[in-house]
Amino acid sequence: MAGLLDKRLWIVSGKGGVGKTTVAAALALASVRAGRRTLVCEVNTQERVSRFLELPEAGPEVKLLEENLWAVDVRPQEAMREYGLMVLRFETLYKTVFENRLVRYFLRFIPSLQELVLLGKILFHLQEKLPDGRWKYDTVVLDAPATGHAISFLSVPQVLLQTVPPGPMTREALKMRDLLVDPTVTAAVLVALPEEMPVNEALELHGALRDRVHIRTHAAVLNQAFPQRFTEADLEALAGHPELRRVAQAHHDRASQAVLAGTKLERNLHAPVYTVPRLFVPRFGRDAVETVMGHLDAMVKGGAGA
């Protein structure tokens, strides 16, 4: 199994609340540890990656957080301005067009324009180069929106190509679509909990990414899984201690549920599944993210899932 280091755009998504931002932060750290200049992007949200890593917030402009690690919270207003300047080239022309109240009113009715400029900013950074011709960022980790929004967000270039007449917007959409569907550039990492609904949503997301967006699922992360610690013999041995047996039985059942969830993901995704155990820590911070990173090391460098 090839590792994520063979790709440059790592898209992390899953049902809300499954820990996709934790996984995105852990993958960004893993990329940095591999010596790669890494940009992690959050999309129009309360920043959490920097908080998990115990670093200052980035804000809407790309900010260096520590050596080889940059971050940005991509927000509509700032992304619209950058997109306008990239297309129109001159700030005075941008102000004349995009900051005109009447024009801004009509821009609201262009289908998916907000999503287009958000995605466009991220993919612009993916293609930035240094003066010596090297990529400015070797890795871009996208902490994508949750399942349903992620599908519509990543589908925007294809939708525009199908609905908008040829012109500057469709040319931009074509460039974006080509980057997203290129399996040598882009890989999706789907995150789920060992529960029925998150697993089913991960499988739905996989199908939609494959059929509607043509993005390949590289791997899945089964997060917060209980490891198997108690055998049937252990449970029998605790028969005379009902309270201890109840706790052990609950743990055994959760661990069995995680095994079933991992098997269902592997069979349906045809991609490796990497298990991250549930962490019992008083405060979730950088140490916890680095622990998660350790469990994802094989995904990054290449190797079978666990």
Question: CB count, 10 Å around CB of 44?
Answer: 16
**Mutual orientation of helices 113-127 and 168-181 as an angle, nearest 10°?**
60
pLDDT of res. 302: 83
Look at residue 306 in the predicted model and tell me its pLDDT: 57
Cβ neighbours for 257, distance < 8 A, ≥ 6 positions apart: 194, 195, 226
Q: What integer pLDDT is reported at residue 246 of this predicted model?
A: 82
pTM tops 0.85, yes or no: yes
Q: How far apart are CA 103 and CA 94, in angstroms?
A: 11
Give CA separation, 136 vs 51, 70, 100, 127, in Å.
24, 11, 33, 8
Give residue 86's pLDDT: 63
- Average pLDDT, rounded, for the chain: 87
Query: How confident is the model at residue 85, as a pLDDT?
Result: 60
Instruction: Specify the pLDDT at position 95.
Output: 54
- C-alpha span between 14 and 221 (Å, rounded): 10
The model's pLDDT over 156-201, given as tens digits with 9 standing for 90+, comes to: 888 888 877 887 778 888 999 999 999 999 999 999 999 999 999 9
Instruction: Give me the pLDDT at residue 289, please.
Output: 97
Of residues 163 and 266, more confidently modeled: 266
Phi, psi of 16 (to 5 degrees): -55, 135
pLDDT digits (tens, 9 = 90+) for 82-115: 766 665 454 554 455 455 564 454 455 454 667 8
Of 35-44, 64-73, 183-192, 222-231, the least confident: 222-231
The phi, psi pair for 61, rounded to 5°, reads -105, 145
Residue 231 has pLDDT above 90, yes or no: no
pLDDT digits (tens, 9 = 90+) for 101-154: 644 544 554 546 678 888 989 999 999 999 999 999 999 999 999 988 899 899
**How do strand 9-14 and strand 139-143 relate by DSSP bridges?**
parallel
Mean pLDDT of 242-266: 86
What's the confidence (pLDDT) of residue 201? Answer: 96
